[in-house]
Amino acid sequence: MVTMKLGSKPDIFVLEGLTWRSMTELDSDVVVEVGEMSFYLHKFPLLSRSGVLQRLISEYHPSPDDGGMCTLQLDDIPGGAKAFELAARFCYDVKLELNALNVVSLRCAAEYLGMTDEYAEGNLIAQAESFLADVLANWKDCIKALETSEAVLQAAEDLHIVSRCITALASKACASDAAAWSAHHGAAPHKGASLDRDALWNGIGTGDTPRAGSGAAADWWYEDVSFLSLSMFKRLVQAMEAKSMRAESIAGAIMFYAGRLLPGLKRTASFSNATSNAGSRSVTPRASGGGGASEGDQRYFLEEIVALLPAKKGVASTRFLLGLLRTAMLLHASPLCRENLERRIGAQLEDACLEDLLVPNLGYTVETLYDIDCVQRILDYFMSSMDGGLGTGYTSPAALVAEDQGSQLGMAAPMQAAATPPAVSPIAMVAKLMDGYLAEVAPDANLKLPKFQALAAVVPDYARPVDDGIYRAMDIYLKSHPWLSESEREQLCRLMNCQKLSLEACTHAAQNERLPLRVVVQVLFFEQLRLRTSIAGWFFVSDNGATDGAQPHLPGNNAGAIVPKGSNAADSSQDEAVVLTPEGKGSEGMTDVKARVSELEKECMSMKQEIRRIGKPRRSWSLLTRKCGFGAKVQQAQPAMSGK
């Protein structure tokens, strides 16, 4: 901390209770009362330094009760008795020390007392202004000066001390951020920015701020500004925005600031604990600090924080935004504030975690454990942003369908397997997230079927490459709601595409008695169709290999090889690979496969006839599974579906 020594004489002031006395040979002839404190002083030192005291003393008319003593009242002096004590010491030329904690109040008191150079050269106003310039050049001292200015806010505003502190801090932070960004990206800094943080503001060295090359993080200033009051922090953020600071840095500072004082962002944190930790610093009380803020103060604080966040997508983490949303519901914040948060979350929903999305239902009419309506609105905002082309990495429905069909047919190109896999589209990530969310809320007995269906139906079918997730959520819902009628079950199962279930999910569905019979038949039918398509694809590959004159047993040539689904590519190059050719050892295998296809077609026709004849679905369960050849598979398979 920078300091400045003033005065040369030894201390002559003694405090006796609430009275300050100057221990000199001359008796005091003036009493200055500031609040409860009384200062017994002498007229001459005061008249030679202060124009206001000179005028007050000259205008004073003694009364008989004063005993000839001049008594002055200065209750409205900025800084109170402490500031006047320092000013009196300066008038007596007694040694005193200026620092960042007292310079603002002393400068305001000097202005109030009119201690200009008109009465004495190098008077207190000039001395305080000179030292204030050094304070503004140092980051830590400037922070302390800004904090202490709240005690004399009106006078500090009139003297532009607050605006000068904020401008200095904003300039230093912006230059530091630009330097850190340039060093990280290896680019030239912006115009006016310097990599040397010792020359960040008007060419004056900051002294204690780290250099960009020292490896210091770009967020080194977050903690310092988090101790400011909300009004000061808002003005600092606005000044940084005016100086074109990156939105990411501003959002980082806001998140740090809110995390220190706002409850709900961390489930174990409390507002009182945060403010008590902040009390370890020697600063003035904040508007939001103290022994705990009321619910109204916390609500105002949250709404202001939400309004401060930059509008740019992704600068604030989705977890932070969801924490703000939970707190906003707890504090019953304004609908505009909650809608703002929901829109922000919806715009970047693909970055959310399932745990953070489980927002407790804190409404006045609680029906479900979690706030389903809130998540539905967030999902609607996400889909709106995708429709507007705002989602990054958007994949068109046609591309997703083509990719899904290619994966089902097992006809991926060799070069595609070797290439780097493309990034998962945001809508596919949200589809997976919502499937997990539906599975979490499905056990709630109070969750009505229309609400469950409405939430599941928001995500389009093309967003799910595989429907195992939605099937799992549906199965959990059916298990937790056994009173659903057959028509309601069929209506629920329309959310699932049976063609997009994995083999494991199909095996589970084949023995799932909670599913309607119509759905089970569809699952079995499409699984048989998938098998036939795969066999046809193998024949197609085999025929191409024979037409091209491919040698079936040449090393490295696997044309016409049957590679069962799920097998390793390395296994297909071994001697166990079955090669289908018009002639040779593979011809017997081809005959067997053709016979199996014929049997499957016959079973399919028999199955359709059996379904028409069956009257009660549940009595025909075992017969149906035996007809389809799934009885043995079900007994051997151990499905991993948690809904079972």
Q: How many angstroms separate the CA atoms of 472 and 509, rounded?
A: 10
Lookup: tokens for 116: 């200009």
The pLDDT value recorded for residue 396 is 40
Q: Of the ranges 207-211, 238-242, 424-428, 595-599, which one carries the lowest mean pLDDT score? A: 207-211
Q: What are phi and psi of 109, to 5 degrees?
A: -65, -40
Pick from 309, 207, 212: nearest CA to 257: 309
72-88 average pLDDT score: 94
Q: How many angstroms separate the CA atoms of 223 and 552, rounded?
A: 70
Q: How confident is the model at residue 22 (pLDDT cuts 50, 70, 90)?
A: confident
* pLDDT tops 70 at residue 580: no
Is residue 435 within 8 A of residue 473, CB to CB? The reply is yes
Q: Side by side, which strands form the sheet with 70-73?
A: 13-16, 19-22, 37-41, 30-34, 70-73
Is residue 92 within 8 A of residue 45, CB to CB? The reply is yes
Which stretches of 23-160 are DSSP H helices? 43-47, 51-59, 80-91, 103-113, 124-136, 139-148, 153-158
3-class secondary-structure state, position 14: strand
The pLDDT value recorded for residue 597 is 64
The pLDDT tens digits of the residues spanning 325-348 come to 999 998 899 999 999 999 999 999
The pLDDT tens digits of the residues spanning 288-322 come to 443 467 888 889 999 999 999 999 998 999 999 99
Length, in residues, of the chain: 644
The pLDDT value recorded for residue 117 is 92
Which distant-in-sequence residues (6+ apart) come within 8 Å of 291 by Cβ?
Answer: 272, 275
| Residue 62 identity (one-letter amino acid) | P
* Rama region for 214: left / alpha / beta (φ>0; ψ in -120 to 50; rest): alpha
Q: How many angstroms separate the CA atoms of 332 and 292, rounded?
A: 18
Q: How many angstroms separate the CA atoms of 229 and 240, rounded?
A: 16
Which H/E stretch holds residue 5? strand 4-6
Q: What are phi and psi of 187, to 5 degrees?
A: -110, 165
Is residue 463 within 8 A of residue 427, CB to CB? The reply is yes
For residue 605, give the DSSP letter. H
Q: How many angstroms separate the CA atoms of 458 and 471, rounded?
A: 16
Q: How confident is the model at residue 361 (pLDDT cuts 50, 70, 90)?
A: confident
Pick from 158, 289, 319: nearest CA to 226: 289
Q: How confident is the model at residue 607 (pLDDT cuts 50, 70, 90)?
A: low
Which H/E stretch holds residue 449? helix 449-458
137-155 average pLDDT score: 95
Which H/E stretch holds residue 241? helix 230-242
* pLDDT tops 90 at residue 105: yes
Helix axes 103-113, 139-148, angle to 10 degrees: 50
The pLDDT value recorded for residue 184 is 63
